[in-house]
């Protein structure tokens, strides 16, 4: 009878131990599955993050390349102010005084030809000298679209003039 009681107690302990081992096994399998699942999700998120960074870097690199191309294009096609002065100053009459000299680079859309828009405001000794200056500029192939405002011609002596022209050097130096 004692043997039977001990056997019953041992059987109950064995069954409890067996249930505990099974429960721990299932718990371990569940936790392993969950850990693998979380690792896979973390790997996917990291890959997405690196892909987003890569796209960001790719976009930044494309913008920088575009900027560098524009700078290179500009430096190759630029017109030096000194080239303009070298061609313009020998044409200036001695009685001409400048108030404003504006030099701005531009380009024509279809040909992308680079030129300079020039604006000059000043005063000259006489209307005849202004006319001779205009004719002198018109004979030069580097100066185009020469336009004097109508008010430039109103005074016979010491007229104040406003001149707009385009400077397209025939040989870029």
pLDDT in tens, 115-162: 788 999 999 999 999 999 999 999 999 899 999 999 999 999 999 999
Does residue 72 share a domain with residue 5? yes
Does residue 15 share a domain with residue 63? yes
Domain closes at, from 77, 92, 112: 77
In this prediction the pTM is: 0.53
- One DSSP character per residue, 65-123 reads HHHHHHHHHHHHH---HHHHHHHHGGGS-TT-EEEEEEEEEEE-TTT--EEEEEEEEEE
Q: Give bridge partners of residue 166 from the DSSP assignment.
A: 117, 144
Instruction: In whole angstroms, give the CA distance from residue 70 to residue 102.
Output: 23
Does residue 39 share a domain with residue 19? yes
Q: Give me the number of domains the chain comprises.
A: 2
Domain closes at, from 77, 106, 126: 77
Domain closes at, from 77, 108, 138: 77
pLDDT digits (tens, 9 = 90+) for 111-128: 556 678 899 999 999 999
- Segment holding 166, helix H or strand E: strand 160-167
pLDDT digits (tens, 9 = 90+) for 45-90: 888 888 878 888 888 889 999 888 877 766 666 667 788 888 888 9
Does residue 86 share a domain with residue 162? yes
Does residue 102 share a domain with residue 55? no
How many helical (H) and strand (E) elements, i.e. helices and strands, does the chain have? 3, 4
Does residue 11 share a domain with residue 67? yes
Position 173 confidence tier, pLDDT thresholds 50, 70, 90? very low
Q: Can you give the CATH number for the domain in which 130 is found?
A: 3.30.70
Structure tokens at 37: 């699942």
What are the backbone angles phi and psi of residue 136, rounded to the nearest 5°? -65, -45
What is the domain extent for residue 39? 1-77
Mean pLDDT, the chain, whole residue set: 86
């Amino acid at each position: 009878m004692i043997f039977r009681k001990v056997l019953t107690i041992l059987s109950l302990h064995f069954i409890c131990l067996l249930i505990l081992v099974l429960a721990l096994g299932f718990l371990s399998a569940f936790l392993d599955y969950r850990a693998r699942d979380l690792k896979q999700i973390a790997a996917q998120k990291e890959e997405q993050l690196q892909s987003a960074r890569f796209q960001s870097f790719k976009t930044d690199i494309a913008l920088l390349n575009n900027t560098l191309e524009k700078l290179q294009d500009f430096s190759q096609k630029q017109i030096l102010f000194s080239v303009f002065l070298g061609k313009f100053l020998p044409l200036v009459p001695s009685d001409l005084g400048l108030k404003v000299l504006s030099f701005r680079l531009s380009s024509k859309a279809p040909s992308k030809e680079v030129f300079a828009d020039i604006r000059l405001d000043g005063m000259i000794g006489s209307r005849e000298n202004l006319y001779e200056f205009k004719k002198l500029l018109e004979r030069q192939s580097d100066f185009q679209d020469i336009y004097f405002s109508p008010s430039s011609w109103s005074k016979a002596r010491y007229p104040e003039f406003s001149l707009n022209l385009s400077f397209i050097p025939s040989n870029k130096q």
